Amino acid sequence: MSGSYLVQRLTGALITLLGVSIFVFLMVKALPGDPARVIAGVDATVEEVARIREELKLDQGLFQQFTTFLGDALTGNLGTSAKSGNPVAAEIAARLPATVQLAVLAIGVATFIGVLFGLFAALRPNSLVDYSLSAFTIGASSMPAFWLGLLLIIVFAVQFQVLPASGKDTWTSWILPTATLAAFSVALIARVTRAAMLEILRQDYIRTARAKGASERRVFIRHGLRNALLPVITVIGLQLGQLIGGAVLTEVVFSWPGIGRLLVEAIFARDFPVIQGVILVYAMMIVLLNLLVDLSYTLLDPRISY
Amino acid sequence: MIAENSPAIERFKANKASAISLVYLLVLTTMALLAPSITSGDPNQLDLGQVLEGFSGEHIFGTDHLGRDIATRILYGTRLSLLSGVGAVCFGLAIALPIGLFSGFVGGVTDTIVQRFVDALFAFPAFLMALALVAVLGAGLTNVIVAVGASTVPPMIRLVRSGVLSVKSEDYIENARSVGCSSSRIIIRHILPNTLGPIIVQATVYIGATIIAAAGLGFLGLGVQPPAAEWGAMLGEGRDYIFTAPHVLTVPGLFIFVTVLAFNYVGDGLRDALDPKTTKQ
């Protein structure tokens, strides 16, 4: 891996983070009224507002305010929640594990089912499995996540009463949120696996492997699957970022104590320090994941070097 | 653009799912536009004597927690959901089209900078972006259209730009330049019409996604505000009755699902019809 590629990727990641920081910083400025009052919240006393004005250096220039904000954020100081009065970083830290655990579990389940589904579809193109994959793909991309979640609750919690409708108390309460979140990635992972497999199976070296008498099974797994994995892993990495960010509605439907629900609660309470903090944390995680996916190319496929 | 009975139209008609979907969308749109002539009911008419009733002849989809007729609300909700979905795509396109055309046409450093920004925005999940914008703008139909529309801008810029790049080096562009056409004339008269096909296809598919996003905001209570009947908001309001009257949730959700499905099928059909090369084997 050449250094210039690494530098280019890192620069890209930094630009994204800088962009999000600027957006999050300007967000409060764009609101009507005094930013100090907006950040302090509706119930703040005059002293509190004055303290925040001092903290944010609101009497100084915009650029100076931004560097203060960025410096604070980089040192883990995301401000104080207007609603609870706790540090925003602590509130996020308390809710972050639930979001990450759910996303990781969902991507694990989605990978297992998706890769199997995609392999079977590629093995028998135009078969029933293949057709049901196309139907499932278009169905999943048309299904609002929150409605899928509500339907699962209606069936499994209301009708059959076998699974809890909300919370995170027992292992059974993980099943419905995971299924809701994984459904969309299953379709995508299966489709990419199928396409990559079909592409690989057309290659010359597959014909060579067959010609020299390798068994179908060996051709398929040893020569096909191994080479098809690269695009699949890319999709999995990118999907994990999307899942972490896209889980907001799933978290709300299942009252899951993650940062997505924290964000929605903060939007309703107009608790801007929390809104800013959660968006920054989301951006940081997604940028980091995308960077890892990019860099993992070279490790997974020695032919690729930048 | 496409002649009557052209192969493209024949191919679209041959795709049954797409053709049925198109008919469904046309019927749905017509019914939404003619809503007041179809039903004399008022979507916000309360009837506290008949709350959470099931399906019946009088109320074909039952009533909600305030005794409002769900069928009437669905019908009027179609207007809001289609308007927010189509509106968001138009808003996104209005921003992305000039940027994508310009970036792709001039190329060079400008293009690189624009693409870096697009890449940077692309990484951010669209719904999260819409949510962040609504946090600033506030709820309401216009803000939902703006927020959801803005979240479609990065992928659309990329789409428009790739269309420009694919026709930019064609001979007819070179010819137009050699007879002295100005850059803006080349972009508008020669590049735009030739890139419009894939843009229209993608826009159709995006309408499905924007309807889901707008409904998601409505569901959270951050979209079109009550008592307005919007499909997502109907789901959000009905959430508390999931244990007693699940039909208040199943019916609006089904309409979102089927309508988005129809947009996706129409998009698929258009793609196959306009570009037979990409047809699935």
* Chain segment B20-77, per-residue pLDDT in tens: 999 999 999 999 998 888 877 788 887 877 877 878 877 878 888 888 888 899 999 9
CA B77 centroid distance within chain: 15
Q: CB of A31 within 8 A of CB of A38? A: yes
Together in a domain, A12 and A108: no
Together in a domain, A101 and A175: yes
CB within 8 Å: B257 and A154? no
Reported as a pLDDT band with limits 50, 70 and 90, residue A256 is very high
The 10s digit of each residue's pLDDT in B124-171 is 888 999 999 999 898 899 999 999 999 999 989 998 998 888 888 888
pLDDT of residue B48: 79
Q: Three-state DSSP class for B132?
A: helix
Q: Is A136 near chain B, with CB under 8 Å?
A: no
CA-closest candidate to residue B22, choices B199, B280, B201, B264: B264
Superfamily holding B7-278? MetI-like (1.10.3720.10)
Domain hosting residue A138, numbered range = 88-300
Q: Could you give the C-alpha distances from B105 to A276, B113, B153, B162, B196, in angstroms and in order?
A: 37, 14, 18, 10, 15
CB within 8 Å: A267 and B222? yes
Together in a domain, A8 and A151: no
Minimum Cα–Cα distance from B134: chain A residue: A267
Which run of H or of E encompasses B58?
none
pLDDT (average), residues A86-111: 94
Phi, psi for residue B63 in degrees, rounded to 5: -125, 160
State both tokens at B38. Answer: 């179809």
Chain A residues touching B81 at Cβ < 8 A = none
Q: Is A290 near chain B, with CB under 8 Å?
A: yes
Per the rule left: phi > 0, alpha: psi between -120 and 50, beta: everything else, B155 is alpha
pLDDT (average), residues B96-117: 89
- Any residues with CB less than 8 A from the CB of A26 and at least 6 apart, and which? none
CA-closest candidate to residue B238, choices B258, B214, B261, B215: B215
Chain B residues touching A239 at Cβ < 8 A = none
Pairwise CA distance, residues A104 & B118, whole Å: 27
Best mutation site among A31, A194, A249 for testing chain B: the one with the most B CBs within 10 Å? A249
Q: Is A249 near chain B, with CB under 8 Å?
A: yes
Pairwise CA distance, residues A272 & B168, whole Å: 46
Pairwise CA distance, residues B243 & B95, whole Å: 44
Query: Which of A:186-215 have CB within 8 Å of B?
Result: none
CA-closest candidate to residue A277, choices A77, A13, A84: A77
What are B63's strand-pairing partners?
B69
Q: Tell me, yes or no, whether A80 lies in a domain.
A: no
Amino acid code (one letter) for B188:
I
Best mutation site among A267, A280, A291, A294 for testing chain B: the one with the most B CBs within 10 Å? A267
Nearest-Cα distance to chain B for A167, in Å, is 16
Nearest neighbour of A16 by CB, restricted to B120, B136, B243: B120
Together in a domain, A153 and A29: no
Query: What number is the ipTM of this complex?
Result: 0.87
How many independent structural domains does chain A possess?
A: 2
Together in a domain, A183 and A278: yes
CATH number, domain of A235, equals 1.10.3720.10
Whether pLDDT at B281 is above 50 = no
Chain B residues touching A242 at Cβ < 8 A = 125
Q: Is A10 near chain B, with CB under 8 Å?
A: no
Per the rule left: phi > 0, alpha: psi between -120 and 50, beta: everything else, A97 is alpha
State both tokens at B11. Answer: 């191919």
Q: Tell me, yes or no, whether A306 lies in a domain.
A: no
The 10s digit of each residue's pLDDT in A138-176 is 888 899 999 999 999 999 998 898 888 888 888 889 999
Chain B residues touching A202 at Cβ < 8 A = none
Reported as a pLDDT band with limits 50, 70 and 90, residue A2 is low
Q: CB of B74 within 8 A of CB of B215? A: no
Output the 3-class SS for A90-107: HHHHHHHHHHHHHHHHHH
Together in a domain, A70 and A108: no
Query: pLDDT > 90: what percent of chain A?
Result: 27
The sign of the torsion formed by the CA atoms of A183, A184, A187, A193 equals negative
Together in a domain, A23 and A131: no
Chain A residues touching B263 at Cβ < 8 A = 142
Domain ranges (residues) in chain B: 7-278
Together in a domain, A65 and A111: no
